[in-house]
Structure 1
Amino acid sequence: MIRDAKKEWLIALTLIAPFAAIYGLVFVYPTIDMFLLSFTDAPLIGAGDYVGLENYTRLTSDRRFDTAVWNTAWFVVLSVIPGTFVALGIALAVSRLSGRLQTAVLALFFLPYILPVSVIYLIWDWTLNFQFGIAMHIFDALGIDRIPVFKSATWFIPAVALITVWWTCGFNVLLFLAGLRAIPQEIYEAAALDNAGRWKTFSRVTWPLLWPITALNFTIQLILQMKIFDQVYLFSQGGRPNDNLVMVYYIFQRAFQNNHGGRAAAVAVVLFFIVIVVSVLNFQLMRFAERKQ
């Protein structure tokens, strides 16, 4: 068959062009503009003067930036690691069910994931509100002092992490279920013939074969939770927002509340590189751990 290479290249470029144009317009151009903006003292809207690295050097002595970095890291630890293993446990349990019962249980776990963050806020504010929350009435009945969860610097991040795990768990469960269903049943039959118990079957068969799904799940959640904003913003209303800062919330404050577009862009650039570095390190560690298995 005679093939026209130039014609094939032309067709390929024609098909790729719409995606490339949209990608450049909504990602590449804004990213470049953000980098350029971070070297100026520009407001949110309008031009500014070039200030070099001043916006970045200011971050080293900015207490609110330190708080935002620490809270973001603490939230990632409390949400990504437990969320991954909770979803794995639920997926293992759901996989043992069958028929309509499995469908119903899976739907119950997935239902929170399809709810918007505003509804999640109302549900948990109704549950943990210091004055009228259901949990507080339970504390009263048990003789335990009420805890102002969303107004406490100690309890705020752990509470939001718990809510986030509950909210996003359904998606993670689906990923693990897909991985479990992809494991051939013949392997489990061979393990049963060797009189392998449940723990040995899990540690020698299920866990190694689920490792790629676990790595994917962990990486997705790591990237998503490092960019947390909605939950923190909503639950901070009426509380202590400066003590509950995370990176994106701090960018929001700088840009939309203080009208410091250049300084907000500098923080966004720092977050951009943190996400890239952490994602690459996580991917390499996962590959190393997979080779060790």
Structure 2
Amino acid sequence: MSTVIEQLRYVVLGTRDLEAAAHFAGAELGLQPLPAGNGEQAFRSDHRQYSLVYSNAAPRRHAVGLELRDDAALQATVQALQARGIAVQHDAALAARRNVRALAAFTTPGGLCLELVVRPQDQGWRFFAARDCGMAGLAALALRSTDVAADEALLVELFGLQVRDWIGDAAYLGLDAAHHRLALFPAATAGVLAVEFEVQGLDQVMQQYHRLRELPQAVVHGPGRRPASGQAFLTFAGPDAVYYSFVTDGERIDAAAPRRPRQFAMRADSHCAWGSDCGIAELLADAVPARPALRGVTSA
């Protein structure tokens, strides 16, 4: 089954302090700010008009933007969601604010807010980083889900995403040649766990590490390399209990003929082959229930 998702488009994060969040996006992530308005501040990381939005309208609300090819794909997906008993909201005002041709929003069984969008705008002028960090663009999102199994099934069966690997009950889902674009982690509350940006190389990962290493509790995982994806990474704390990662390298997968998904244990060496300390509760072995000894492989 081919995916109906064209690309991971953006993430919207509620914040209690818009000014502090905006400063973080420029100073630590190197993102390019767009003019603020209506209690929101958007940022560019690549060719997209924006890939990160901070909003003070609802400090606890997170949303993920997924691009569909056209109106027909959106209509078919909405009908399939409704057939599963999932309510879908069409919001013209929100579509205008997101600067997309059409938008339909829904909440997954695990509590994730997804916004399906058609024809989001790219930017004609090149991305200009706020600082020299080697930014290459939005890479992936790690998401907290209260029902990973149901959300995994929905994204695989309806949207055509492919399970690339599991670590414990956490599922890594791909839609193109990258190892994954979304990762689902069991949690008591739903939302964004981490926003991951690709940078040009390992030098940029290590430069960020040396920027942050003297700040108490700033670096929460890494630098290291992920056994599942092969990515070099550094994860650090951001505003409003959301983490951010710089990643580079990583396995490339033929989405038309993917390898079988692999099962890793939920333990430290499954998340980092270099043995780095981890301060992220969702990645620790005692944070999730144990998986049964055997699990069927979900086919895409």
Q: Same fold (TM over 0.5)?
A: no
Q: Which has the higher contact order (CA 8 A, sep 6+)?
A: 1
More helix by share: 1
Considering only CA atoms, is the larger Rg found in Structure 1 or Structure 2? 1
TM-score (norm 2): 0.20
More strand by share: 2
